[in-house]
Structure 1
């Protein structure tokens, strides 16, 4: 596992040197786009339509479009200078109850691991969050983008601090245009009682290990079968080709032998007439 960021967690006058790691990864089956004729993966080229040239990495810069077709170019050094200390720090600005933050705001999840010099302070923060039942609200900058973040203590897979990037409130879309959600609907008391009874019946402690990606398993099985079929077809074609090639070689060998035999027969006949 490779760290994607190094910096520190700051709260009050305490700074904890840490490294950041992605906590989740995209699972499932991934497909690539191929050229139908030869099954070769297609390539995407970065191309400037104005200059009509393909571009290399050192020829590409970021830009902000402030008007249609008009840009302000911005490079990494500009961003680092603008962000200053925040680019290297997760600043804990307050603490709160976990249920005060709507899960709608949750985005990517990351693990925080301490550097050697920060082990004690890291464990202190983890223990304080764990025993208080609270979470830290922070500001952090990843990949040149500043976001809100939630820092919490987890013991699901080791005693680790977990960081969740949060959406800014203005980035959470309004529900104003959703249909019917503000309409009053009469709910029968008996229906509500049955629904609550069903919820109680199906309620149990949540364990992630109880769930697996069933669709991924079925797709992997199907792809395995498909791969076997393709291998058989390929072997069959190769075998047929070998038979054809062998037969062709035998015919040519026979023709060559017959051609070589004719002069000998002619010579034999000549000797008999003399």
Structure 2
């Protein structure tokens, strides 16, 4: 989806960029209920009361309600950043110094040839130092901030938000201030976290809602009866200590039952 180079210092590494992730949402189209025909989105001008072709559409910024300033093609041309086909690394930092809230989208970076020594050199240098590169890149006429790091054997680039694009956490209402905590409750909360702690395995997590939607669609297609999902019963535990204790007991029970070896199967007799 993009071809250029990684540059740091005087080193240039020719690379190709590939999307690293894809959304797996089930996509629907809007249909006319009466005839099941897909509905078209029409650009209408409510003032002129007619359909507007793309040639008559411009982009405007609403600086006050109902008042716009329009940017013409020549304005966009003057604003466009230089078409620099480079991922320009400007700094190297520790990965832990960047909070995950800054990360946006991930791309794989492959070398433009199979035996690119500079690619392997940067990859090994990043591994040995434990650093990641902070870079600038222009994608689709927009300059973005990004980081370059190692994932498996591959260099990856992740676009990140600029600081002023991350909202101040102080804007969040009703965040509790520091409270005196009950030591027993805190100890039980820590024990609960420890009981539920496991090594991270991405394969262990599934999009249950998407799977349910796909099941319903398969049943609809084959004209089978749609079965409603059972309602999960939850206990209304009001007391915090009771909630922690119930969670701890459930976690211990799950862990204990998980360790039990399955009973040996009896051999079939003739």
TM norm structure 1: 0.72
TM norm structure 2: 0.73
Select the structure that is richer in helix: 1
CA contact (8 A) 1:63 1:74 kept: no
The C-alpha deviation readout for 1:4-62, integer Å capped at 9, x for no partner, is 21111110001111111111111121111111111111112345566644424xx2676
Query: In structure 2, do the counterparts of structure 1 residues 16 and 209 end up closer, same or farther at CA, with 3 Å as the change threshold?
Result: same
**Greater Rg, structure 1 or structure 2?**
1
Shift of 1:168: 0.5
Q: Which consecutive segments of 4 or more residues in structure 1 shift more than 3 A? A: 45-54, 60-64, 74-77
CA contact (8 A) 1:16 1:118 kept: no
CA contact (8 A) 2:108 2:155 kept: yes
- Matched positions, count: 221
The C-alpha deviation readout for 1:214-264, integer Å capped at 9, x for no partner, is 222222111111222289xxxxxxxxxxxxxxxxxxxxxxxxxxxxxxxxx
2:186 to 174, 187, 192: 192
**1:72 alignment partner in structure 2:** 71
RMSD: 2.6
Shift of 1:76: 10
**1:153 alignment partner in structure 2:** 150
**2:204 alignment partner in structure 1:** 210
**1:111 alignment partner in structure 2:** 108
Shift of 1:191: 1.2
Comparing 222-231 and 197-206, the one that deviates more: 222-231
Structure 2: state its 5+ residue gaps.
226-270
Structure 1: state its 5+ residue gaps.
232-274
CA contact (8 A) 2:133 2:148 kept: yes
Shift of 1:77: 8.0
